[in-house]
Structure 1
Amino acid sequence: MEKVIEISNLCKTYKNGRGIDNINLDIYKGDIFGFLGPNGAGKTTAMKIMTGLIKPDRGNVKILGYSILTEFEKAMYDVGCIIETAETYPYLTAFENLKQFSRYYEGINAGRIEEVLEIVGLLKYKDEKPTRFSLGMKQRLGIASVLLSKPKVVILDEPLNGMDVEGMINVRNIIKNLAENEGTTFFISSHLIHDIELTCNKVGILYNGKVINVDNTKNILNNYASLENYFVSEVERNDKF
């Protein structure tokens, strides 16, 4: 299997003592990896390092074989990401927002913009401005901007936040279809256990800045009634040490 993301001995400590400690993860082509943990566990810190927004104290991340520390442009060339919030230009329409974002890439035409709007269920709102959108619709517009360039790796921080049930199902299906049919690799963080269970084929639990276990969702559900039961069991076991 082709290794797409390799996280090695990743550490970052803030002045308040919080952060991440010695994270090691291997993610393979077509994986939908769920980074599961409570708020404040360090998920966003890890993802900011992965995308070059902050530097680690120690360790490295390689994406598609390239180090984000020494070969950043090559590492990020085929990566699409949303960290924390999907930002938009409020004075532009949904279509115009994506046209603006398309300037970062080569060969993105109006047809591709409409295609990704259709994928995320926003084509009929293409001439509306995001100021009229719900939080979930804004998230979907952000995901559309990520998909514009057909990235090989997609990194999403809490992508289902604020979505209604229909929007969550829509985005979940998008992720699964891209992983299965195009081999797109997803790295998704969330504190919403049920969403990770329904979306991801592999799960890593981050707790107090440390990865305490990684397993396939199928294996987990063969041994536990739900991902929530597994999560509680692993956290309780970890707290004893």
Structure 2
Amino acid sequence: MEKVIEIKNLSKLYKNGRGISDINLDIHKGDIFGFLGPNGSGKTTTMKIMTGLIKPDSGDVKILGHSISEEFELAMEKVSCIIETAESYSYLTAFENLKQFSRYYKDIDNNRIEEVLELTGLLKYKDEKPKKFSLGMKQRLGIAAAILSKPEVIILDEPLNGLDVEGMIQMRNIIKDLAEKENTTFFISSHLIHDVELTCTSIGVLYNGRMLNVDSTKNILNSYASLENYFISEVERNGRI
């Protein structure tokens, strides 16, 4: 299988002692990878390094064969991401926001904008401004922006944040459909174990800045009653509880 994301010996330590240590990970084309760990475990730090927002102390990340430290523009050319929060222009409508974002890409027309608004359940709100949106609706608009250009790799930090049950189901279906039909590769971080179990095809457990284990969801659920049981087992086995 084609490797899409390669993380090698990635480390970043902050003055408060937190960070990540020696992360190694390979993610293949069409995978929905779930980066599972509690708040403060280093998930967002890793994703910020992957997207060039901060520099690592050591190690490297390759996306689609290109190093983020040496070929950043090529590495990010077919990547879309939401890190921490989905931002938008509060004085523009939902449609106008996506129209603005479309200027960064080639061949994004109004039909594509309306298509992603429909996919994310926002089409009927396209003429409303995000300042009136709930947290969940703002998150939907962020997802719409992330999939607008039909990227090959989508990196999402807590993508289900603020969504109600219906919204969570809808987002899971969008992610699964893109992975299955367009072979889009997803890197998703979350501390919501149940949602990771229902969404992701493979899972990596990050705890106190260290990668404890990586396995397919299928293998995990063949051996454990739930992903929660697996997570607790991995943490206990590594002496962290």
TM-score normalised by L of structure 2: 0.99
Aligned mates of 1:230, 1:203 — CA distance in 2: 11
Residues 36-57 of structure 1 show CA distances to partners (whole Å, capped at 9, x for unaligned) of: 0000000000000000000000
Across the aligned residues of Structure 1 and Structure 2, the Cα RMSD in angstroms comes to: 0.9
1:147 alignment partner in structure 2: 147
SS in 2 for 1:52: coil
**Per-residue deviation at 1:103?**
1.1
Residues 188-239 of structure 1 show CA distances to partners (whole Å, capped at 9, x for unaligned) of: 0000000000000000000000000001001111110000000001001111
SS in 2 for 1:12: strand
**Per-residue deviation at 1:133?**
1.1
2:72 alignment partner in structure 1: 72
Moved more, 71-80 or 97-106: 97-106
2:104 alignment partner in structure 1: 104
2:132 alignment partner in structure 1: 132
SS in 2 for 1:161: coil
1:123 alignment partner in structure 2: 123
Name structure 1 gaps, 5 residues minimum: none
Structure 1 counterpart of 2:22, one-letter code: N
SS in 2 for 1:150: coil
**Per-residue deviation at 1:240?**
6.1
Alignment of 1:157-172 (within 5 A): 157-172=157-172
Alignment of 1:208-227 (within 5 A): 208-227=208-227
Aligned mates of 1:147, 1:97 — CA distance in 2: 14
Structure 2 counterpart of 1:145, one-letter code: A
Aligned mates of 2:204, 2:147 — CA distance in 1: 24
Name structure 2 gaps, 5 residues minimum: none
Structure 1 counterpart of 2:205, one-letter code: I
Percent identity for Structure 1 against Structure 2 = 78
2:92 alignment partner in structure 1: 92
Aligned mates of 1:16, 1:213 — CA distance in 2: 25
SS in 2 for 1:56: coil
Structure 2 counterpart of 1:89, one-letter code: Y
State whether structure 2 residue 11 is matched by structure 1 residue 29: no
Aligned mates of 2:67, 2:240 — CA distance in 1: 36
SS in 2 for 1:189: strand
1:188 alignment partner in structure 2: 188
2:38 alignment partner in structure 1: 38
2:4 alignment partner in structure 1: 4
SS in 2 for 1:239: coil
**Per-residue deviation at 1:58?**
0.2
Residues 43-82 of structure 1 show CA distances to partners (whole Å, capped at 9, x for unaligned) of: 0000000000000000000000000000000000000000
Residues 140-192 of structure 1 show CA distances to partners (whole Å, capped at 9, x for unaligned) of: 10010011110000000000011000100000000000000000000000000
2:176 alignment partner in structure 1: 176
Moved more, 104-113 or 185-194: 104-113
